[in-house]
Amino acid sequence: MKIALLSESPADEAALRVLVEYVLREPFTQVAPALRARGWPSVEQVLPSVLRHLHFNTDADGLVVVVDSDDSVVHTAEHEAPGYFHPGCRICRLRGVFRRTIKNLPRAHGRDRVLRAVGLCVPAIEAWLLCGRDTSITESAWVEGQASGRPPYSRRELKWRVYGTERPTLSHEMKRAVQEVSRHRGDLRRLENDFPQGFGSLARDLRGWRTALQAGGAPRSTS
């Protein structure tokens, strides 16, 4: 399978490469050069161009996009209802961009469209990296904290816990990211349980790819 990853940093990309392979249970080829965006608003802005590029200029099967939630609305099961769209939810917004962009694209490279997998790190990828080490760090803890106005932890604290500093070097970030996600080799249930929407959505999207490809063409996105 040929896959493109759109992430916010090389460290995020390193972790994603490992996680995507664990979900798919097979190695994949990454589209080069690596795609990168400069934080949330940039991801949403460049995504249409990235999709068109992948569709017409590459033979990529799918695109994985993962962003941090920061302080935005966290995706919930209610957002999965047909036709539902929450303007403050980054998963809803990214799916919306996918939907609008690929709607009128003609077939290219033997496929209808580039497959979609969207994930949301709540509130940042360091939370995923700490999954299984600290049971207090979960999507629901963050959502409850948002609701009460008392976040259970800050992004800076998460950085401290993962890297031992608020200002890690890129190489240290990459090393730690791969170390931590590698703990989930062969069993992603903990990540999916603690981050059911942010990571769960990504995993469900990816698992749907095999079926879509075996069916001989990717179905249009509906949500």
Partner 1 sequence: MITAVQFRNFKALRSAALRLEPFNLFIGPSGSGKTSFIQALLKLRSLAGLSATPAKELEGQKPQGPQIDFHFAPPLEQVRVTLACTSDDLVCNALAVDHPPGAVGEGQWAEVRQQLRGIRAFLFDHYAMAVPAKRSDSAELASNAANLAAVLAERRARDPEAMAHLAAGFCRILPEFSGLDFRDTGDGRVELLAQLTDGGEALAAEDLSQGTLYLLAILCLAHDPHPPGLICIEEADRGVHPRLLREVRDAFYRLSHPLPGDRAPVQVIATTHSPYLLDLFREHPEEIVMANKQGNAATFERLSDRADLLELMKDTNLGDLWYTGILGGVPGE
Binding site for partner 1 (CB under 8 A): 9-10, 36, 38-42, 70-72, 155-156, 159, 165-167, 169-171
Q: By C-beta, is 48 or 132 nearer to partner 1?
A: 48
Q: By C-beta, is 146 or 191 nearer to partner 1?
A: 146
Supply the minimum distance, in Å, between the C-beta of residue 8 and partner 1.
10
- 203's CB contacts (< 8 A; 6+ apart) are 23, 188, 191, 192
Supply the minimum distance, in Å, between the C-beta of residue 74 and partner 1.
14
Q: By C-beta, is 68 or 194 nearer to partner 1?
A: 68
Residue 56 token pair: 């017409």
Give alpha helix (H) positions in the chain.
10-24, 40-57, 90-102, 125-129, 139-148, 155-163, 170-181, 189-194, 198-214
Q: By C-beta, is 9 or 223 nearer to partner 1?
A: 9
Q: By C-beta, is 135 or 171 nearer to partner 1?
A: 171
Supply the minimum distance, in Å, between the C-beta of residue 210 and partner 1.
32
Contact in structure between 7 and 37 (CB atoms under 8 Å): yes
Supply the minimum distance, in Å, between the C-beta of residue 70 and partner 1.
7
Supply the minimum distance, in Å, between the C-beta of residue 112 and partner 1.
32
Q: By C-beta, is 156 or 185 nearer to partner 1?
A: 156
Q: How many CB atoms lie within 10 A of CB 108?
A: 16
Supply the minimum distance, in Å, between the C-beta of residue 56 and partner 1.
24
Residue 117 token pair: 């997998």
Cα separation values, 217 from 51, 96, 145, 208, Å: 17, 21, 42, 12
**Angle at CA of residue 182, ends 98 and 54, nearest 5°:** 25
CA-CA distance, 92 to 216, in Å (whole number)?
Answer: 27
32 class by beta-carbon count within 10 Å (0-12 exposed, 13-18 middle, 19+ buried): exposed
CA-CA distance, 5 to 169, in Å (whole number)?
Answer: 22
